Chain A
Amino acid sequence: DQQVKQNSPSLSVQEGRISILNCDYTNSMFDYFLWYKKYPAEGPTFLISISSIKDKNEDGRFTVFLNKSAKHLSLHIVPSQPGDSAVYFCAASPGSADGLTFGKGTHLIIQP
């Protein structure tokens, strides 16, 4: 039973355009959401997060949107750059010490 779902295994975007990565969750207890970026043979790197009391958080080229009623969040990258090519994981937490629940990841490929 997947509590965090990333339904697009891969996404190809042209350099300079907007990349939109989507994530859905089923557990109503989740109140904190994170995006991680992962390059091959490296550990995941924290990118951006959002608390359930907000609907948007922005950090430079990265913006995360949260729609609690739809149990949906998205990561926008504008403009997309070649170095953004990586696997992006959506993760969620109920605000306890139990660790994060991860989606399966979306492989973002930025085309020149």
Chain B
Amino acid sequence: NAGVTQTPKFRILKIGQSMTLQCTQDMNHNYMYWYRQDPGMGLKLIYYSVGAGITDKGEVPNGYNVSRSTTEDFPLRLELAAPSQTSVYFCASSYSMAYEQYFGPGTRLTVT
């Protein structure tokens, strides 16, 4: 059981470039989430999904898009990267709504 896996671990983007952060879970969880963590801050919710084909915005969705075509995968797309998107991104999943969430190891993204 790998749990929640994220790729890549690190990435440097130039302003205006695009990329997709990958997230996969093997626990058959319906609920999946994307958070970002800025230095000295808590995690903030970007997008979440309650099942395949269903996504919704969190607290800080601007500049991001998501899709959920399967139960296992929940990719996060950055379009036109900006320095404000420099952060550590965490994907999480849970069996039931909003209870214990299991986190991936994170992707550290720098936009210059």
Contact = CB atoms under 8 A, between A and B. Distances in A.
A, B in one complex: yes
Interface of A: 4, 9, 32, 34, 36, 41-46, 49, 89, 93-105
A93 B31 CA distance: 14
Nearest to B91: A43
Interface of B: 4, 31, 33, 35, 40-45, 48, 50, 56, 58, 90, 92, 97-106
Contact of B97 (A4, A41, A96, A103): A96
A42 B105 contact: yes
Contact of A99 (B98, B102, B104): B98
Interface residue SS majority, chain A: loop
A63 B25 CA distance: 29
Contacts of A46: 100-102
A81 B57 CA distance: 39
B51 to A, nearest CB: 10
A29 to B, nearest CB: 12
A51 to B, nearest CB: 10
Nearest to A97: B97
A99 B57 CA distance: 10
9 contacts: A9-B40, A34-B99, A42-B106, A44-B90, A44-B103, A46-B100, A49-B100, A97-B50, A104-B40
